[in-house]
Amino acid sequence: MTRSSQSAPRAFVAGWPVAHSRSPLIHRYWLKELGIEGAYDPVAVAPKEVDEFFQNLVKSSEFIGGNVTIPHKEAAFRACALVTDTARRLGAVNTLWIENNQLRGDNTDGAGFTANLDQNAEGWDANPGRAVVIGAGGAARAVLVALEARGFEQIRIVNRTRPKAEALARFLGMELEVLPWENRTRALADATFLVNTTSLGMTGQPPLDLDLSALAETALVTDIVYSPLRTGLLLEAAQKRLQIVDGLGMLLHQAAPGFARWFGKVPQVTEKLRSVLLADLEA
Ligand code: NAP
């Protein structure tokens, strides 16, 4: 069935696996809240089928666009006829839409990261000092570019696999101070901003073993892991009376630009939406 024969616009989240994705919960909440007749569905796309899936999007007209999650963000980037400057810089796309019969893409992870901090720690970037980024995976890419855009010039990065952090610095064309994993605690000396972008601390994963004593007293600590909401890192930072921001807001804010494009209304990230997500995470 083509979309022209359907009344309601339909968007997707594509990943492998995809069942864990909270994106349907977020978009369906906004559809209902804003009274929009539309749909948002998870689509499990196996790696061997991913190129075909993206190629078919324009022809089939089944969807108006969608989100892309692990492990397909690079394949989505390659499939697009046109991407935003941000997506080009990151080499990865998490938001797709069809325009002028073309597949187009953006990457909103970095925008989600900064919007979360803007909402929950106003002025966090007023005097950018030294930032430390733990991790060098896909999410770290977006976080690094976002920090650079907000004026952080001294950024240290620490990753278990050091060559990956070095490769990331080259890929992004950024001057990062890359430190070995064993020195991660020392890397925090005088830092005013710390973010964990690894999966450590997530439910079912080992904790992030890090002594926060060397951080500046004014430091802001944030974690992009949002399950649990208060990770071990955030609990320790709170105990040391450092300012903390959890990662749930990043997830919510990165979803907003796609929703606005597909369904024509700018959605709000509210406490009510947060509580819906929290209830699901705790279920
Ligand atoms: P990824 O590309 O697979 O990168 C994983 C990172 O974690 C790498 O730096 C990896 O280090 C590190 N890591 C994994 N296991 C480790 C271990 N045992 N010890 C030390 N380091 C380890 O994943 P990603 O897409 O960047 O996602 C990372 C996390 O961020 C996930 O938990 C994801 O759910 C979360 N996330 C949250 C949001 C949000 O909206 N809040 C958005 C995106 C991602 P190596 O390079 O050494 O393997």
pLDDT digits (tens, 9 = 90+) for 171-192: 999 999 999 999 999 999 999 9
* pLDDT of 4 higher than 50: no
Residue nearest to atom 46 of ligand 1 (CA): 161
Distance CA 34, CA 48 (A): 37
Q: What count of residues does the chain have?
A: 283
100 Cβ neighbours under 8 A, 6+ residues apart: none
**160 or 7, which is more confident:** 160
Residue nearest to atom 29 of ligand 1 (CA): 199
* pLDDT of 3 higher than 90: no
Please say whether the beta carbons of 218 and 241 come within 8 A. no
* pLDDT of 71 higher than 80: yes
DSSP state of 11: E
178 backbone φψ class: left, alpha, beta (φ>0; ψ -120 to 50): beta
Residue nearest to atom 4 of ligand 1 (CA): 137
Ramachandran angles phi, psi of 202, nearest 5°: -75, 150
**What pLDDT, on a 0 to 100 scale, did the predictor assign at position 7?**
72
Q: Which residue type sits at 26?
A: I
Residue nearest to atom 27 of ligand 1 (CA): 139
60 lines ligand 1 (CB under 6 A): no
Residue 35 alpha carbon to ligand 1 centre in Å: 36
| Ligand 1 atom at minimal distance to the Cα of residue 247 | 41
* pLDDT of 102 higher than 50: yes
Residue 4 alpha carbon to ligand 1 centre in Å: 40
**What pLDDT, on a 0 to 100 scale, did the predictor assign at position 188?**
97
**What pLDDT, on a 0 to 100 scale, did the predictor assign at position 6?**
57
Catalytic residues: 73
**Nearest-10 crossing angle of helices 23-33, 248-263:** 50
Cα–Cα distances in Å, from 97 out to 63, 67, 174, 262?
A: 9, 9, 29, 7
pLDDT tens digit sequence for 139-149: 999 999 999 99
Q: If you average pLDDT over residues 33-37, what whole number do you get? A: 98
205 Cβ neighbours under 8 A, 6+ residues apart: 199
β-pairing, 65-68 with 130-134?
unpaired
192 lines ligand 1 (CB under 6 A): no
Q: Which residues does residue 13 pair with via DSSP β-bridges, in sequence order?
A: 42, 67
Residue 136 alpha carbon to ligand 1 centre in Å: 8
H helices of 66-108, where? 73-79, 85-90
160 lines ligand 1 (CB under 6 A): yes
180 lines ligand 1 (CB under 6 A): no
Say which residue the tokens 């929009």 belong to: 36
Cis check: omega of the bond before 206, within 30 degrees of 0: no
**What pLDDT, on a 0 to 100 scale, did the predictor assign at position 283?**
86
3-class DSSP state of 236: helix
Q: If you average pLDDT over residues 254-276, what whole number do you get? A: 98
* pLDDT of 53 higher than 80: yes
pLDDT tens digit sequence for 111-147: 999 999 999 999 999 999 999 999 999 999 999 999 9
* pLDDT of 87 higher than 60: yes
**What pLDDT, on a 0 to 100 scale, did the predictor assign at position 265?**
97
Instruction: Return mean pLDDT, the chain.
Output: 96
Kindly indicate the confidence band of residue 1, based on its pLDDT and cuts at 50, 70 and 90: very low
Cis check: omega of the bond before 71, within 30 degrees of 0: yes
